[in-house]
């Protein structure tokens, strides 16, 4: 059975395409074992991350509450930014609990963490209306 020239050309194109895709897949597989994809992705969000003017407010989102490792890290970074921008207000955005005052208590714990690090308590205000990150922001 003889194949026509069109079929042989298509077979050659298919073979070349599969070899090229295999080489690309091999390169991606090898890159997966390096730090190159992480740093490429990381640079997308931090390439021009400088402020043009000082912020007027620093928003500290409640997250998983206080005391927790995440809450302490949020407080630490809020404190570090409060030191960098001494005129910025600090807004602690933590939702109220519908039954009791757990959210308010956790907000006070976050404020206490900032105060013991040296942040003036007059700079701190509270926002308890938001129930998600979007509504808190």
CATH number of the domain within which 121 lies:
3.40.50.620
Same domain, 130 and 92: yes
Q: What is the 3-state secondary structure (H, E, C) of 47-109?
A: CCCCCCCCCCEEEEECCCCCCCHHHHHHHHHHHHHHHHCCCCEEEEECCCCCCCCHHHHHHHH
Report the distance separating Cα 2 and Cα 63, nearest Å.
70
Q: Distance between CA 23 and CA 17 in Å, rounded?
A: 10
Give a yes or no: residue 107 inside a domain: yes
Return the pLDDT at 101.
61
Would 103 be classed as within a structural domain? yes
Domain that holds residue 13: 5-41
- The chain-wide mean pLDDT, for the chain, equals 85
Answer whether residue 1 shows pLDDT above 60. Answer: no
| Contact criterion met (CB below 8 Å) for 62 and 92 | yes
The counts of H helices and E strands in the chain are 5, 3
Q: Is residue 35 part of a domain?
A: yes
Q: Do 80 and 125 share a domain, yes or no?
A: yes
Query: Does 29 share its domain with 92?
Result: no
Mean pLDDT of 63-80: 85
């Amino acid at each position: 059975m003889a194949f026509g020239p069109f079929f042989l050309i298509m077979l050659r194109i298919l073979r070349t395409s599969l070899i090229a895709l295999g080489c690309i897949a091999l390169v991606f597989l090898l890159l997966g074992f390096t730090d190159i994809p992480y740093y490429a992705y990381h640079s997308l969000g931090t390439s021009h991350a400088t402020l043009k003017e000082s912020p007027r407010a620093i928003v500290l989102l409640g997250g998983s509450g206080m005391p927790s490792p995440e809450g302490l890290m949020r407080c630490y970074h809020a404190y570090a930014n409060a030191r960098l921008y001494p005129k910025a207000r600090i807004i602690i955005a933590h939702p109220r609990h519908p039954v009791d005052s757990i959210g308010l208590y956790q907000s006070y714990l976050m404020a206490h963490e900032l105060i013991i690090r040296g942040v003036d308590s007059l700079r701190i205000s509270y926002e308890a209306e938001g129930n998600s990150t979007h509504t808190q922001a």
